[in-house]
Amino acid sequence: MDRFHCRPGGFSALQPADVAKVVLDEQAERIEVVVPDEQLWLAIGRRGQNVRLASQLIGWDIDILTEQEESERRQKEFTERSSLFMAGP
C-alpha cells in the first residue's frame, strides 16, 4: 500500500473540525482523517453531509476516525505484526 501523510492544516474540507492527521492512500484513492474524539460529529456533519460533500469534491473515499479509534487500530496492528515476527518461519 502506498501511503503518505500530509499536513493536517492542509486538509480544510472538514472544517470547522480540527484535523489531527491525514493519511492518503493513492493506490486505493482513499483518505483517512483523524480528528479529536469530541469533534467527530463536526467532521461528519449532519447525516454525513460534510464528509460526503468533501468526498465528492475530492473524488476519493474518506474515512474519519477519532484519535482513540486510530490509537486502538494501531495497537492492534502492532500486536498482530509482533506476533507474526515472534512466531518466526
- DSSP letter string, the chain: --EEEE-GGG--TTTTSPP-EEEEETTTTEEEEEE-GGGHHHHH-GGGHHHHHHHHHHTSEEEEEEHHHHHHHHHHHHHHHHHHHHH--
What's the pTM value of the predicted model, to 2 decimals?
0.75
Residue spans of the domains in the chain: they are 3-87
* The CATH fold of domain 3-87: GMP Synthetase; Chain A, domain 3 (3.30.300)
Rounded Cα distance, 25 and 60, in Å: 10
- Tens-of-pLDDT digits for all 89 residues of the chain? 344 445 444 466 677 888 899 888 999 999 999 999 999 999 898 898 888 888 888 889 999 999 999 999 999 999 998 887 777 66
Side-chain half-sphere of 29: how many Cα atoms within 13 Å? 6
